[in-house]
Amino acid sequence: MTDLEEIKRRRTFAIISHPDAGKTTLTEKLLLYGGAIHLAGSVKARKTSRYAVSDWMEIEKQRGISVTSSVLQFDYNGCRINILDTPGHADFSEDTYRTLMAVDSAVMVIDVAKGVEAQTKKLFKVCSDRGIPIFTFVNKIDHFGKNPFDLMADIEEVLGIRSCPMNWPIGINGSYTGIYDRENEMCHIFIKDNAHGTKKLNVISGKIDDENIKANISEEILQSLKDDLELLDEAGDPFDLEKVKNGTLTPMFFGSAMTNFGVQPFLEKFLELAPSPQERTVSEGKVLPTSPEFSAFVFKIQANMDPKHHDRIAFIRICSGIFEKGVSVLHRQSGKMIRLSQPQQFLATERTTVEKAYPGDIIGIFDTGELGVGDTICEKKHPVTFIDFPVFPPELFARISPSSSMKRKQFLRGISQLAQEGAIQVYTQPYVMESFIIGAVGQLQFEVMKYRLENEYSVTVNIEPLPYTVARWTLQDVKPEELTGIDNAMVVRDRKEKTVYLLPNEWQAGWLVQRNPEVTFLDTPPRLVTENTK
């Protein structure tokens, strides 16, 4: 297979949703149908100690949630698939946003009973702003939910995007028995078994008037299906791949990830329609996936995926050129040459060594602390710089300190690692050595950080909430004593040694702006902000 053919067969996508819509379960079932696993374990099947393959952290298994982005790779129908399973919990939106920088398309999972929810709306906006094509999977249709036409209206009204159902549920709401493939004009009736979704479903397929279909569907349901299809043909949007690519139309699929209902038809059609690796924006212009010069960026850093070795993995998205094991590349941020040794590809915690990788692929490389999230690596002769990642302003702050001074060394190492991952934001105070100030988007980030420090670094910590909700940086290099109105602010410094002002609320932040009209205040660090001034 030629290099160009290898690039074109890549499909790199993220699965996004509101918590509990079934995102991680769908991820696992795609692996089941892709042959990457042979027995699916329900996320909530704790009695049998089986958990979602993509949830590798112990706290995820205990809570039945995803709080880290997992990278999963396998082959199916001639495609090399890179799935990025993102955190569903709102407190980990920043990790999800970074992950979305590394994909070419996204699958949006919607709960049939709840429709478009708050977190779905936020994630959709990120995809929309980045021009990422979105495919919709309406999940849990084995339960009673909204009418499919109402879901289409919901998507348009809330997200502002039209939808085109690629298939349609057959049966009565809450008791659907199959799906109708509109393009191929085929009915697929699912035969229920006692495997509870752990194995592939058996299917009866045929045209709408075939005897084997009529034998499994009542005349009333068959007529209802025909009426729905007629309405869709007359009033619905026709499928238009260009509109999908430019983000004004989302192909819509119905199914149930828990019971495997409609999963395989969705997977096959999605892989047919989803884009191969796309061009990327750099400060110097554009990078094409077919460009021979190697380029990639770091979108995630994860420490302690293997707790026995306390390793640190930098996940990189290859954007151009062919990666080969052991290659030396330019680290754009430091200007140093680094050797990419021991490259890995992943099926959750299972790893394989990579000899060669292509644009669209996600690989993990062992990192000694040189790389950071958003960093560029490329060929020295053809340097490029990928655009900066968005940064979330922290909304919660706390003081963290080790319970025992004997554990200070482990405490410092753990805080440093978690800060480099981007899991939390860490600030220091002048002359305060025994504690740090930490900032987070949500409370669960504090809980996960405490859990990881205890389990990965053997450090018990005290976390004391602070009465601040707003952080402000200054564009100019201004000393605190030169400002007016910082009486209620805590003055700290971030990892880049920039001064940060922590304030109780937005009103106090506004007061600071009014009292210092000659200073430009920012709600994210200066080097990452081009607008968004306050």
Q: How far apart are CA 153 and CA 237, in angstroms?
A: 12
pLDDT at 67 over 50: no
Query: What pLDDT is attached to residue 128?
Result: 84
DSSP states along 459-525: --EEEEE-S--EEEEESS---GGG-SS-TTPEEEE-TT--EEEEESSHHHHHHHHHH-TTS-EESS-
Predicted confidence (pLDDT) per residue in 187-233, tens digit: 998 887 656 566 677 889 999 989 988 888 889 999 999 999 999 99
163 annotated as ligand-binding: no
pLDDT at 91 over 60: no
Q: CA 509, 515, 517, 520 torsion: positive or negative?
A: negative
22 annotated as ligand-binding: yes
34 annotated as ligand-binding: no
18 annotated as ligand-binding: yes
pLDDT at 492 over 90: yes
Q: How confident is the model at residue 37 (pLDDT cuts 50, 70, 90)?
A: low
Q: How confident is the model at residue 16 (pLDDT cuts 50, 70, 90)?
A: confident
DSSP states along 172-232: ETTEEEEEEETTTTEEEEEE--SSTTSSPPEEEEE-TT-HHHHTTS-HHHHHHHHHHHHHH
Q: How confident is the model at residue 56 (pLDDT cuts 50, 70, 90)?
A: very low
105 annotated as ligand-binding: no
24 annotated as ligand-binding: yes
23 annotated as ligand-binding: yes
19 annotated as ligand-binding: yes
Query: What pLDDT is attached to residue 44?
Result: 34
Query: What pLDDT is attached to residue 195?
Result: 61
The residue among 61 and 28 whose pLDDT is bigger is: 28
Predicted confidence (pLDDT) per residue in 297-348, tens digit: 998 887 766 656 567 788 899 999 999 988 999 999 889 999 987 788 766 4
Predicted confidence (pLDDT) per residue in 437-452, tens digit: 999 887 888 888 898 8
86 annotated as ligand-binding: yes
**High-pLDDT (> 90) share of the chain, %:** 44
- State the chain's mean pLDDT as an integer: 84
Q: List beta partners, residue 204.
A: 189
pLDDT at 534 over 60: no
Q: Give the burial string for 199-215 (b: 16+ CB within 10 Å, else e).
A: ebbebbebebeeeebee
Against a cut of 0.95, is the pTM above it?
no
Query: What pLDDT is attached to residue 307?
Result: 58
17 annotated as ligand-binding: yes
Query: What pLDDT is attached to residue 347?
Result: 62
360 annotated as ligand-binding: no
Least confident interval from 119-128, 404-413, 490-499: 119-128
Query: What pLDDT is attached to residue 100?
Result: 84
pLDDT at 433 over 60: yes
Identify the structural domains of the chain with CATH numbers, from first to last. 16-65+88-94+104-275 (3.40.50.300), 281-378 (2.40.30.10), 396-522 (3.30.70.3280)
153 annotated as ligand-binding: no
Indicate the residue type of 187: C
